[in-house]
Structure 1
Amino acid sequence: MLDHVFRPCVIGGLTVPHRIVMGAMHLNLETLDDGGAALAAFYAERVRGGAALIVTGGSAVDAAGSGGPGYGVLDDEDHRSALRRAARAVHDSGGLIALQLFHAGRYALPGTPGADGAAPLAPSAVYSRFSRTTPQAMTARQIGETIAAFARGAGAAYDLGFDAVEVMGSEGYLINQFTAPLTNRRDDAWGGDAERRRRFPVEVLRAVRAAVGPGFPVLFRMSGADLVADGTPWEETAALAVALADAGADALAVGVGWHESPVPTVQAQVPAGTWAVYAQRIKRALRTAGHDALPVVASNRFNQLAQAEEVLAAGDVDLVAMARPFLADPAIVGKSRAGASASVDLCIACNEACIDRSFGTERVSCLVNPRAGYESDFPAGHSPARRGRYAVIGAGVAGLEAARTLARLGHEVEVYEAADEPGGQFRLAARVPGKADFGATVRRRAQELDGLKVPVYLGHRVGSRDMPLLRTMDGVVVATGVRPRRPDLPGVALPHVLDYAQAFADPGALGPRVAVIGGGGIAVDLAHLLTSGSASALTPEEFLSSRGLTMPLEAGAGARTAPAAAGAARQVTVMRRGGRIGTGIGPSTRWVAMEELRAGGVHLLTDVVYEEITRGGVVVEAAGERRLVAADHVVLATGQESRRDVVALLHQAGVPFEIAGGAADARGLNAVRATAQGLRAAHRIVERTASRG
């Protein structure tokens, strides 16, 4: 039951029909040269799926505040036009939309439009490891101009037809930089003590309120915990919340962490609902100050409405914001309301197609749902002029995506998989602690295919005997995946040498000393699996404790506290020819994965030359010295080769086909590319064969 989730809520004068907010996400759709078509289609599909109040990705209030080349600036008429179209599309679909007012401050990235090569603006000239620049300290005049820019942005939101605004004052962006002693080293009217540090956010809110009047809802996203050394102390955070309430905020949304924080906040390793405790404490501080009715929004690391229900039922939180889950499944709210939560495609917090892309210029999308961000290119609800028959060979993530796309397009589909279960490489990933949702993704995809009446024939390797049947099909998608590559290395055929698939299949059979040749993402996952001890997930309380985070937070809380070592029985060494372990893992996740390996006592060797594998281990040259890496088992994680034997048979049989995933190219293989190719291969094969009789 989701009784608390589906209760209406009032924010200012705005009645919201349920308690799930679609949180802000920068999409890199905001500046596309398409008149706002992609942005409008993206938001409208989420409303049709049940979203009520949507908060847009941040729109910069002026050019200096832009986060990078993919950010829209509210002074730009093209961006305003795109926003107007997006707001209209949301309203036409029955939803509500708030415009987020944004200023990056010292987090402005190189290539920011309008910056003209100038250093980013910030309260003080404190170097940023995120943007890799030292900003210029703002003058009093620049501070006043920036406050006025926030007010102009709020007025623009009103004029463009938005239902509300959200002021972005969290996650280490400009407003948050003013509240933290780390980045505000001023000793003037805007810094020097707690009251002056919170003056800037309060003045921004007052200016925004004055610009839109008392009846227009203004949300303020504040930081519940900066999670950096010398960040905003808890007492000042609580006082800021009260000051914002006094200044006219209609709701406080609570974020956590900075991009420079040593504590993971949005990765799969973070338990669901961990950060709600900060929103709850802010609500209690407001209640103590007499602001009982002011709504507080919790956020970060929720991927199911049942988790939001639990937090809402516990009290001290009024709404829950979910962002990436709306990428993975635009209908997460509608399905859950209908009692079909088990059919929701879960966000797996891989961050590869969303957060990692948001820091560049590539369109944000989703591994689980590659249509995300491309809704205008691949519209839903298409009915074919003629119902075709298609086969998909391979039931890894590329094949599963191709199959469901073809079936959703209204075609008859059959899937053939050589293994005894679907999922391909995802089956391996699902064994790794913290990645259980990878397995859930495969199960949900299989469930969806079953509901679409798509037969999946397991244990069936397609060969020449199948060509007569395949000739009757309109077309085929080949998604036969990859096989582990075995390097040409002396000793590679010894009995204690396994490929990574064999090691994942039975990790308990490996001895106490394991040497892994290869240092990519698969090797990192395997090393984590072998040294993690228990695969059981931490509770939010255990996670916070492992990071040295206690409540209330003291000034400086959040400094790096690595997880306690698991005391694993195995000694694992990961080595590679190059100089960087974990190549291919996204930047927002790699540092967490590497931290886990170090906590597990994994030895990391880079820039090695492999000489041979012996019965005692691997002989390498490292740092100019020849040495033996002792091992009871040696695991090869040296890349993959495409499985595409069936391609020649299809050519010979004259069967039209498209190739997707690892079968197309094993180099740099990742699941984001595989699912995107599965989607596109399905559409291409239909387009190619639509005229066949």
Structure 2
Amino acid sequence: MTTYPHLLAPLDLGFTTLKNRVLMGSMHTGLEETKDWNRVAEFYAERARGGVALMVTGGMAPNREGGVFPGAAGLFNDDDIANHKVVTDRVHDAGGKIAMQILHAGRYAYGPECVSASAIKSPISPFPPKELDEDGIEKQIADIATAAARAQEAGYDGVEVMGSEGYFLNQFLVTHTNKREDRWGGSYENRMRLPIEVVKRVRKAVGDDFIVIYRLSMIDLIPGGSTWEEVVLLAKEIEKAGATIINTGIGWHEARIPTIATSVPRRAFTWVTKKLMGEVSIPVITSNRINTPEVGEEVLADGCADMVSMARPFLADPNFVAKAAAGKGAQIAPCIACNQACLDHTFSGKISSCLVNPQACYETELTIGPAAEVKTIAVVGAGPAGLSTALTATGRGHKVTLIDRAAEIGGQLNMAKQVPGKEEFWGLVDWYRAMLDDSDIEVKLNTEASADDLAGFDEVIIATGVMPRDPQIDGQDGPNVVGYRDLLQGKATAGDTVVIIGAGGIGFDVAEYLVTDDSPTENLEEWLEEWGVTDPEDHRGGLAPEGPQPEKPVRQVTLLQRKSEKLGKRLGKTTGWIHRAALKLKNVQMVGGVNYERIDAEGLHVSDGEARENPRVLKADTIVLCAGQVSERSLADALIEKGVTPHVIGGADVAAELDAKRAIDQGTRLAATL
């Protein structure tokens, strides 16, 4: 009997059967825009081989004005159809099924040709949209239907019509963006006319035996969003119009509520989808922050949906389903929802990948095969850089010894996992431990390696990480001063009022650690209250009228930096605003452009700017040093003195904000070449 009977059960759609209840949700990776169709095909085929029932591509534009940015990929001509057929053929050869998402961005399109229901500019784009007239609306409908027909001709098993996240069809549904007074605006019957007509025309274009998924916004999380009654009415009409499946969308892109970041509780919105169960007779898919087979099984067993959608977990591990089916759930590389290599890349115009799995989207470039010559390799440092190197090298057949002075693996990850909202890092360390246990790597913990100890190895990799930078502030050795490492490792405590020196990623993490008692990420009800989310059946759009109601901060914290720029400016592109907003909700004071003059029993003495104006004292029980890091290179330098040239990676190479993404990528790529 399978451990996951609901998750791995087939789903009969009548004209075709899905082999399990797992959908790989749509992700815009940027691969299609490379026009390297072999690369695109291999990305999807790798996940098809991993056992997922159905995949949905990144959003393909139905026309130029609907593309998320100028030059966005779509199916516009016969050449596009031929290129996409390379992908679908490869997926089918791998035993998989794939649907193409048709995404019309509407006013979210980052270009001057964007169109929408009304000429209301989006807060996340500088381009005001053109209000469509009757002929313009007909063109969009026809283009979407044509895109579906082309997808069918290209060999796709279905299409997903993107009707959520605040994109084009969603923009017609709510008065927030639809101010029309014709038959496409005004009453809800009129406002929902467009998505219904689109699904009807798509179904007519592709016939009966073709999967048509409609991605429906279950909870908009914006002012003036849909009521639950409207959501249910639309779902029923979409079913009548010919949809095979309804997929779930949560929140508009402009919503000021996090929906998929690591601080969002697992399965945080499955309760919304559960409300739709029984209202329609076609299958319903739930999504957002489902990242383990256990969570997926629980969601289905609880009756929240007929199927679960996971997107980024298939970047982290393309073999997610196959490992679950084989009883190897502990070996599934976990998506930690960090956004660093996926969404941050997407919104920066880069190819997406994964912090945990640098091969994601680089399957044809970063190839990892058996070593031509087996070597003995010493890896010093069991943080993310050293772990990725050791596991990749041993997977290629090398004989690896992993050495670390600490009593446990994980390095800086063990501090990250102590931060409220970063609980997923516990799972990442657990995964590394499971992978080491299943490998032939010799692990030596509590061991201080010397240059002499490393003699005789064919290759030596130094991944010794970083040390805190010395800020050289007069009085920093006082009893009221602690370092961030001692604090996060539980070796030091903080008083009721705290000043943090340094507002990089670590400074923000420490601030969150100090103001939070019980992490809301571990308590869904508390998290919903903190961010002001409520049942859309009670309040339109799912926004609580009283707004966010966070728990009272357990300490008074001030966060400082020397730079005069906005604090948190260099945090993640798609998550920085969440960290800033969360600390603002906890009344954390953020001050930039300060000079650290001295520390005494009163607190921290500071001044402003180059002229050192406005000298004052910030009274504090505790001052925490988070003033950056420097590379720990002492062992590397000792080896070089002995004539040994080691490979230096991770923080030991570049001490930049504890960058696990760079460390894991660097370690993996090095090991692939040894």
* Fold equivalence (TM over 0.5): yes
1:622 is displaced (CA, Å) by: 4.2
The answer for the alignment partner of 2:292 in structure 1 is: 304
Paired with 2:304 and 2:668, the residues of 1 have a C-alpha distance of 42
Answering whether residue 93 of structure 2 is matched by residue 92 of structure 1, we say yes
Give the structure-1-normalised TM-score.
0.92
One-letter code aligned to 2:31: L
Paired with 1:395 and 1:331, the residues of 2 have a C-alpha distance of 25
Instruction: Evaluate the alpha carbon distance shift between residue 164 and residue 642 of structure 1 in structure 2; reply closer, same or farther with a 3 A threshold.
Output: same
1:61 is displaced (CA, Å) by: 0.8
The answer for the alignment partner of 1:20 in structure 2 is: 22
Q: CA RMSD in A?
A: 2.0
Answering whether residue 191 of structure 2 is matched by residue 197 of structure 1, we say yes
- Aligned with residue 234 of structure 1, among 220, 223, 228: 228
- Aligned with residue 566 of structure 1, among 536, 541, 551: 551
1:508 is displaced (CA, Å) by: 5.9
What secondary structure sits across from 2:432 in the alignment? helix
The answer for the alignment partner of 2:136 in structure 1 is: 142
CA deviations 1:468-504 (Å, max 9, x no partner) are 2xxx222122211111101132222323322211221
1:556 is displaced (CA, Å) by: 4.7
Instruction: Evaluate the alpha carbon distance shift between residue 565 and residue 277 of structure 1 in structure 2; reply closer, same or farther with a 3 A threshold.
Output: closer
Paired with 1:338 and 1:408, the residues of 2 have a C-alpha distance of 19
Q: Which moved more, 1:623-632 or 1:410-419?
A: 623-632
Give the structure-2-normalised TM-score.
0.95
Paired with 2:546 and 2:568, the residues of 1 have a C-alpha distance of 21
Does the CA-based 8 Å contact 2:495-2:621 persist in structure 1? yes
Does the CA-based 8 Å contact 1:584-1:668 persist in structure 2? no
Q: Which moved more, 1:539-548 or 1:442-451?
A: 539-548
Answering whether residue 469 of structure 2 is matched by residue 485 of structure 1, we say yes
Q: Identity of paired residues, percent?
A: 39
The answer for the alignment partner of 1:256 in structure 2 is: 250
Instruction: Evaluate the alpha carbon distance shift between residue 82 and residue 639 of structure 1 in structure 2; reply closer, same or farther with a 3 A threshold.
Output: farther
The answer for the alignment partner of 1:124 in structure 2 is: 118
Paired with 1:407 and 1:77, the residues of 2 have a C-alpha distance of 46
The answer for the alignment partner of 2:265 in structure 1 is: 271
The runs of 5 or more residues in structure 1 that have no matched partner are 111-117, 287-291, 687-693
Paired with 1:549 and 1:315, the residues of 2 have a C-alpha distance of 20
CA deviations 1:17-46 (Å, max 9, x no partner) are 111111111111111142x12221211111
What secondary structure sits across from 1:151 in the alignment? helix
One-letter code aligned to 2:517: G
Paired with 2:315 and 2:197, the residues of 1 have a C-alpha distance of 34
1:76 is displaced (CA, Å) by: 5.6
Does the CA-based 8 Å contact 1:477-1:682 persist in structure 2? no
Instruction: Evaluate the alpha carbon distance shift between residue 572 and residue 181 of structure 1 in structure 2; reply closer, same or farther with a 3 A threshold.
Output: same
The answer for the alignment partner of 1:626 in structure 2 is: 615
- Aligned with residue 659 of structure 1, among 619, 641, 648: 648
Paired with 1:576 and 1:169, the residues of 2 have a C-alpha distance of 42
The answer for the alignment partner of 1:113 in structure 2 is: none
Paired with 1:79 and 1:659, the residues of 2 have a C-alpha distance of 44
Does the CA-based 8 Å contact 1:562-1:595 persist in structure 2? no
Correspondence 1:199-218 to 2 at 5 A = 199-218=193-212
Paired with 2:568 and 2:412, the residues of 1 have a C-alpha distance of 17
Answering whether residue 412 of structure 2 is matched by residue 425 of structure 1, we say yes
The answer for the alignment partner of 1:594 in structure 2 is: 580
Instruction: Evaluate the alpha carbon distance shift between residue 236 and residue 109 of structure 1 in structure 2; reply closer, same or farther with a 3 A threshold.
Output: same
One-letter code aligned to 1:95: G
CA deviations 1:398-431 (Å, max 9, x no partner) are 1111111111112111111122222121111100
Answering whether residue 538 of structure 2 is matched by residue 550 of structure 1, we say no
Correspondence 1:407-556 to 2 at 5 A = 407-468=394-455, 472-506=456-490, 509-535=493-519, 537-546=521-530, 547-556=532-541
Does the CA-based 8 Å contact 1:474-1:656 persist in structure 2? no
Paired with 1:150 and 1:166, the residues of 2 have a C-alpha distance of 11
The answer for the alignment partner of 1:384 in structure 2 is: 371
Runs of 4+ in structure 1 deviating by more than 6 angstroms, as ranges, are none
1:247 is displaced (CA, Å) by: 0.7
Instruction: Evaluate the alpha carbon distance shift between residue 80 and residue 486 of structure 1 in structure 2; reply closer, same or farther with a 3 A threshold.
Output: farther
Answering whether residue 314 of structure 2 is matched by residue 326 of structure 1, we say yes
- Aligned with residue 670 of structure 1, among 659, 662, 668: 659
Paired with 1:366 and 1:571, the residues of 2 have a C-alpha distance of 36
- Aligned with residue 183 of structure 1, among 177, 188, 191: 177
The answer for the alignment partner of 2:58 in structure 1 is: 57
Instruction: Evaluate the alpha carbon distance shift between residue 561 and residue 354 of structure 1 in structure 2; reply closer, same or farther with a 3 A threshold.
Output: farther
Does the CA-based 8 Å contact 1:253-1:296 persist in structure 2? yes
Paired with 1:348 and 1:70, the residues of 2 have a C-alpha distance of 31
Paired with 2:34 and 2:649, the residues of 1 have a C-alpha distance of 27
Paired with 1:500 and 1:593, the residues of 2 have a C-alpha distance of 18
One-letter code aligned to 2:43: F
The answer for the alignment partner of 2:597 in structure 1 is: 611
Does the CA-based 8 Å contact 1:367-1:672 persist in structure 2? yes
Instruction: Evaluate the alpha carbon distance shift between residue 12 and residue 173 of structure 1 in structure 2; reply closer, same or farther with a 3 A threshold.
Output: farther
Does the CA-based 8 Å contact 2:121-2:127 persist in structure 1? yes
CA deviations 1:117-153 (Å, max 9, x no partner) are x241111111211123321112222211111111111
What secondary structure sits across from 1:264 in the alignment? coil
Paired with 1:311 and 1:535, the residues of 2 have a C-alpha distance of 22
Q: Which moved more, 1:642-651 or 1:138-147?
A: 642-651
Q: Which moved more, 1:529-538 or 1:322-331?
A: 529-538
Instruction: Evaluate the alpha carbon distance shift between residue 637 and residue 78 of structure 1 in structure 2; reply closer, same or farther with a 3 A threshold.
Output: farther
Instruction: Evaluate the alpha carbon distance shift between residue 321 and residue 456 of structure 1 in structure 2; reply closer, same or farther with a 3 A threshold.
Output: same
Count the aligned residue pairs. 667
Does the CA-based 8 Å contact 1:548-1:561 persist in structure 2? no
CA deviations 1:351-379 (Å, max 9, x no partner) are 11111211232111111111111111123
Paired with 2:321 and 2:477, the residues of 1 have a C-alpha distance of 53
Does the CA-based 8 Å contact 1:60-1:103 persist in structure 2? yes
Correspondence 1:279-298 to 2 at 5 A = 279-286=273-280, 292=281, 294-298=282-286
The runs of 5 or more residues in structure 2 that have no matched partner are none
Answering whether residue 316 of structure 2 is matched by residue 315 of structure 1, we say no
Instruction: Evaluate the alpha carbon distance shift between residue 54 and residue 561 of structure 1 in structure 2; reply closer, same or farther with a 3 A threshold.
Output: farther
CA deviations 1:318-351 (Å, max 9, x no partner) are 1111111111111111111122212222111111
Paired with 1:332 and 1:607, the residues of 2 have a C-alpha distance of 47
